[in-house]
A and B are shown apart, each in its own frame.
Chain A
Amino acid sequence: MARVPTSFSKAREALIVALARTGDRDAFAELVQRRQVWIRNLMRRCCGDITLADDLAQQVFLQAWKDIRRLRNPRKFGPWLKKLAVNVWLQHLRKNDALHNAVEHDDSVSSVQNTPAVAMDLDRALDALSNPERLCIVLSYHEGMTHGEIAELTHFPLGTVKSHVRRGSEHLQQLLSAYAGNQSTEESQ
């Protein structure tokens, strides 16, 4: 059975990446160990399905293993991995033709809007967005990326990113209005 090494646990990431680039299996295992929570949570935010998210996260790391020699700057491993994750997610959407189902998906928003807002948590609210909107929102709020960075990463036009983030935020604000109420109450206390 595969063993997760501990010898790299205190080493700097750039050094481990440099070792992984030479094909060092243990170094790559350490990178997976360090980054798996981030990538799995990112994929969970993107797709809302725990099993699928873990499958996609695995694909991300396998892609990273295949391509890590192409990574020129080991210090940019994080952004590079994020790019791989977004590409894996976009490929998954294309495979399932989900990007084209945005209009159909919008129908589900109205049905979700009728449910009590208190019962909605963030993941359920994200489910109500179209896939492109959801991706842009996750990259903006979860990853703290600017619209320009999102456009560059996803290859969506900048205007499209802006409108996805704006519309997605509006939808989420409507769906999560109860949280906003709670927050203002907490602040006033």
Chain B
Amino acid sequence: MMDDRDPTLQALFASPQEDLAGEVFTMRVMSQTDNLKSRAIIRRIFIGLALGLLAIPLQELAVPLTQVMVVSLFDLDNLLLAQVLAPLNTVGSALSIVLLRMRVVYKRIFS
């Protein structure tokens, strides 16, 4: 359903607008996209190099980190309950929830 609009204003807005020459504008946009592309390639190369250089230290860090992530937050006596809640009852899941909440808050504030 269309909302009521003032016919006079509608007529004014409907009046033909400037037919803007697009060649220069398009070229400017495309040269900027080329810059973006080059920057993305350079960024990928740097990331690749960094990952290559840091592969061994990262691997060494990952092992103890994964061990910490699976540590239970609470000791549950009930075996069934412990099994059901196992995916949530870990340091890793708690961290994930915190990170997801932070992402939601960030999106609400900045988007």
The chain B residue sitting closest to A57, CB to CB, is B25
Question: Cβ of A172 < 8 Å from any Cβ of B?
Answer: yes
A41 contacts B33, C-beta separation under 8 Å:
no
Count of chain B residues with Cβ under 8 Å from any Cβ of A?
A: 30
Report how many A-B pairs have Cβ atoms within 8 Å.
90
Q: How far is the CA of A33 from the CA of B25 in the complex (A)?
A: 8
**Roughly how many angstroms separate A87 CA and B1 CA in the complex, as a whole number?**
25
Interface size class of chain A, counting residues whose CB lies under 8 Å from the partner chain: 35 or more
Given the known interface contacts A65-B36, A140-B5, the answer about A2 and B11 at a Cβ–Cβ threshold of 8 Å is no
Chain B residues near A29 (CB, 8 Å)?
A: 26, 29-30
Chain B interface, >50% SS class: helix
Given the known inter-chain contacts A37-B22, A140-B5, A183-B8, please indicate yes or no for A2 contacting B27, CB distance below 8 A: yes
Q: Is the Cβ of B2 less than 8 Å from the Cβ of A58?
A: no
Output the nearest chain B residue to A55 by Cβ-Cβ distance. Answer: B28
Q: Contacting B29 at CB < 8 Å: which of A37, A62, A144?
A: A62
Q: Within 8 Å of chain B (Cβ to Cβ): is A118? A: no
**Segment among A8-16, A69-77, A96-104, A173-181 that sits at the interface with chain B:** A173-181
Which residues of B line the A interface, CB within 8 A? 1-3, 5-6, 8-13, 15, 17-20, 22-23, 25-34, 36, 111
